[in-house]
Structure 1
Amino acid sequence: MTEAALLERGAVAGQASLLAVRDLHGWYGESHVLHGIEFDVRKGEVVTLLGRNGAGKTTTLKAVMGILARRQGSITFEGQETIGLPARTIARAGIAFCPEERGIFASLSVEENLMLPPKVQEGGLSVQRIYELFPNLKERLSSQGTKLSGGEQQMLAIARILRTGAKLLLLDEPTEGLAPVIVQQIGRTIARLKSEGFTIVLVEQNFRFAASVADRHYVVEQGRVIDEIRNEDLEANMDKLHAYLGV
């Protein structure tokens, strides 16, 4: 992405950005993975990070959440700089992370897993509202995490962070390995969350799914954002996306 395009985007998005990432660098040990990531997320948007495996998408979410050991640059949430804050403080500010591995405790029941994270702010969904979004979970309340299907584990992982009152949800590969019917249910849930005012940053390999739920897409390559495409402009940019993603 050209400097002029970044400046133009920042001038517009910066007026109402819930999350603004600037010149973000990140490392795993000595390995320099993020090389100046820049993007904005406005309140109430669903934004995806697209790119090939190893591009730095998941690392970006971890950096925003504060669980990447070494990072530098600027990450502001609601105008507050968070780059130097620990993950627990970032969580209390209203950001929640749903990892690709889901993090379900196998020895705990669905209900125990659901109630485990503390509320960090007002505005979280009630348990009843969560059961309306995920009726499968209500039927499996006493089931242990080991007894859940992959789709049920993903629903529980998302449900768990909805209780906390977080305003910004970071979802890492929520449809990975799931049956099409479950993918459709996850898509409907994301659409409903957006309609209720949640803001979502989504890392997703399933491009068709991403296109069905997102407002804008950032293309990540070698630890940098190289392009931004609005969802309404996807059709006109399909050849370019095929080149970027190798799909």
Structure 2
Amino acid sequence: MTGAPTTDARHAGTATAPPMLQVRDLHAWYDESHVLHSMTFEVAAGETVTLLGRNGAGKTTTLKSIMSILPTRTGSIMLQGRETIGLAARAIARLGVGYVPEERGIYSKLSVEENLFLPPQVRPAQLSLAEIFDLFPNLRERLKSPGNRLSGGEQQMLAIARVLRTGAPLLLLDEPTEGLAPVIIDQIGRAIAMLKRAGLTIVLVEQNFRFAASVADRHYVVEQGQVIDMIPNAERERHAAKLQKYLGI
């Protein structure tokens, strides 16, 4: 395993507040299958970081573990200095973690408006409803449409908008560009850039490295259930050979 720094140098030794998210020695299982092996990384408030790696590396499992969706885990998951490894998923959401799963998780028979207002608001929202609709104008036009009448891109917009309305300051986004047309991917990228400016913290699982490089501050490379390297986005060209080896890009 490559020695992987767990935080950017600009945060080292100077920050007084705890990281927004700190994962240490995290192990997780699906039944008898041991998937995460000492996963360790951290994310400062206001950062966007990606978890990069090949299929099956453990990236989605990491997000599910943070959300306490997987029941069998050991290690430490700290949210703003608070240990959460023993909490239920509903408690994690109430602490201000918004999760957008790969399958999006919207309710197909509910309207856009009903989907938006279904989750409770856990914090004062960083973005107003009007600002959310400015991010995703399609949703304003489709408020009364049921979820199963939305395109894949509109469903992704709705899934992100729903967690934004809750006021969660930490967003976990699992493959938000998968299967989407380039014009929609660009729109998702602009939305993430705006969320960064609004001060939200984002952990992004993404196969599309070109997209990841356009939005992220740092990249954690995941292999066989653990972080094996960390590459600052500003240094990605210098580390192109390593990225090619890790990801085959």
- One fold, TM greater than 0.5? yes
Q: What is the percentage of aligned positions where both structures have the same residue?
A: 67
SS in structure 1 of the partner of residue 42 of structure 2: strand
Q: In the comparison of the two structures, how many residue pairs are matched?
A: 247
2: distance between equivalents of 1:68 and 1:225? 19
The aligned counterpart of 1:141 is 143
Q: Deviations over 1:179-212 (max 9, x none)?
A: 0000000000000000001000000000000000
SS in structure 2 of the partner of residue 72 of structure 1: strand
SS in structure 1 of the partner of residue 238 of structure 2: helix
2: distance between equivalents of 1:110 and 1:12? 45
1: distance between equivalents of 2:94 and 2:162? 15
The aligned counterpart of 1:46 is 48
The aligned counterpart of 2:193 is 191
- Aligned counterpart in structure 1 of residue 107 of structure 2, from 105, 111, 114: 105
Cα distance change of structure 1 residues 207 and 162 upon mapping to structure 2, 3 Å threshold: same
Cα distance change of structure 1 residues 48 and 15 upon mapping to structure 2, 3 Å threshold: farther
Q: Is the 8 A contact 1:24 1:72 kept in 2?
A: yes
Q: How does 1:169-184 map to 2 (within 5 A)?
A: 169-184=171-186
Q: Is the 8 A contact 2:24 2:77 kept in 1?
A: yes
Shift of 1:175: 0.2
Cα distance change of structure 1 residues 45 and 155 upon mapping to structure 2, 3 Å threshold: same
Q: How does 1:1-247 map to 2 (within 5 A)?
A: 2=2, 5=5, 12=13, 15-16=16-17, 17-247=19-249
Shift of 1:128: 1.6
2: distance between equivalents of 1:66 and 1:125? 26
2: distance between equivalents of 1:232 and 1:6? 16
Runs of 5+ consecutive residues of structure 2 not aligned to the other structure: none
Q: Is the 8 A contact 1:13 1:42 kept in 2?
A: no
Q: Is the 8 A contact 1:187 1:212 kept in 2?
A: yes
Q: Is the 8 A contact 2:27 2:34 kept in 1?
A: yes
Shift of 1:11: 5.3
2: distance between equivalents of 1:15 and 1:4? 22
Q: Is the 8 A contact 1:61 1:170 kept in 2?
A: yes
2: distance between equivalents of 1:11 and 1:46? 17
Cα distance change of structure 1 residues 189 and 8 upon mapping to structure 2, 3 Å threshold: closer
Q: Is the 8 A contact 2:4 2:227 kept in 1?
A: no
TM-score, normalised via structure 2 length: 0.95
Q: Is the 8 A contact 1:14 1:20 kept in 2?
A: no
Shift of 1:14: 7.2
Name the amino acid aligned to 2:85. Answer: I
Shift of 1:6: 5.2
Name the amino acid aligned to 1:235. Answer: E
Cα distance change of structure 1 residues 223 and 144 upon mapping to structure 2, 3 Å threshold: same
Name the amino acid aligned to 1:36. Answer: S
Shift of 1:73: 0.2
Cα distance change of structure 1 residues 126 and 31 upon mapping to structure 2, 3 Å threshold: same
Cα distance change of structure 1 residues 26 and 15 upon mapping to structure 2, 3 Å threshold: farther
Higher helix residue share: 1
Cα distance change of structure 1 residues 233 and 178 upon mapping to structure 2, 3 Å threshold: same
Runs of 5+ consecutive residues of structure 1 not aligned to the other structure: none
Query: Over aligned residue pairs, what C-alpha RMSD do you find?
Result: 1.8
Name the amino acid aligned to 2:92. Answer: I
Shift of 1:127: 1.9
